Amino acid sequence: MRDISLHLSDIVQNSITAGASLVEIGFRLGEDRVLTVSVKDDGCGMSEELLKRVQSPFTTTRTTRKVGLGIPLLMQNAELSGGNVHIESKVGEGTLIEAAFHTDSIDCLPVGDLAETMATLVLSNPDRPDFSLECVSPDGGMEFSTAEIRAALGGVSLAEPEVYQWILSSLKEEIEPILGGIMK
């Protein structure tokens, strides 16, 4: 993966497969320049046994083959920057995955195009789940929620091109001042 946003597209897919109805995404950059990326869902969760195995590239819930690279690749890149990945999960309640990136490390990936990632996530999953995004840095903060957009649109699908363009442009505008320094 070339940037953290691409990891996000990939990791969120796990939440969707777990049948989540709400996926809460956070990008929090602290004064210490550590970026914590979190994905919290209310999907089916994982058993303790699966949770132990999930960091192995030879673990997958797919039946068509035996490898799954999403989490191992995320861990590799977080650890390369001096950070780590932390996963909590409870069956029936959901899963939280947090990846810490030391953005001052030369080996840290850039955040990448987070606006486009969020917009394509919404476009690909227009009916369910709902997504929320919170970006915070010493420069400010922003929040985004598809539940509010859905309510405002009253029946118009989130996958319509006009809606996609609106989501993309508003996210771009709002994320840039907050995470602009680490996006590229």
Partner 1 sequence: MKSLAELEQIRKQTLERINLRKEDKSDLTRVVIGMATCGIAAGARPVMHAFMDEIGKRQLQHVTVSQTGCIGMCRLEPMVDVISPDGTKVTYVHVKPEMVPRIVAEHVVNGRPVEEFTIGAAEDA
Binding residues for partner 1, rule: CB under 8 A, are 1-2, 6, 9-10, 13, 62, 64-65, 68-70, 73, 113, 116-117, 119-120, 123-124, 142-145, 148-149, 152-154, 156, 159-166, 168, 170, 173-174
Residue 47 · residue 64 · CB < 8 Å: no
**At residue 121, what are phi and psi to the nearest 5 degrees?**
-60, -45
Minimum Å gap between C-beta 2 and partner 1 is: 8
Name the one residue in this structure whose structure tokens are 């009916």: 127
Alpha-carbon Rg for the chain, nearest whole angstrom, is 16
- Is the CB of 33 or the CB of 166 nearer to partner 1? 166
Minimum Å gap between C-beta 37 and partner 1 is: 15
Minimum Å gap between C-beta 82 and partner 1 is: 23
- Is the CB of 49 or the CB of 64 nearer to partner 1? 64
Minimum Å gap between C-beta 3 and partner 1 is: 10
The one-letter code for the residue type at 47 is S
- The C-alpha atoms of residue 91 and residue 43 are separated, in whole angstroms, by 9
Spacing of C-alpha 90 from chain mean position: 19
- Is the CB of 64 or the CB of 106 nearer to partner 1? 64
**Quick count: other Cβ atoms within 10 Å of Cβ 163?**
19
Return the structure tokens found at 149: 């957009």
Minimum Å gap between C-beta 30 and partner 1 is: 23
- Is the CB of 101 or the CB of 144 nearer to partner 1? 144
Kindly list the distances between the CA atom of residue 18 and the CA atoms of 15, 51, 150, 174, in Å, as whole numbers in the listed order: 5, 14, 22, 30
- Is the CB of 76 or the CB of 91 nearer to partner 1? 76
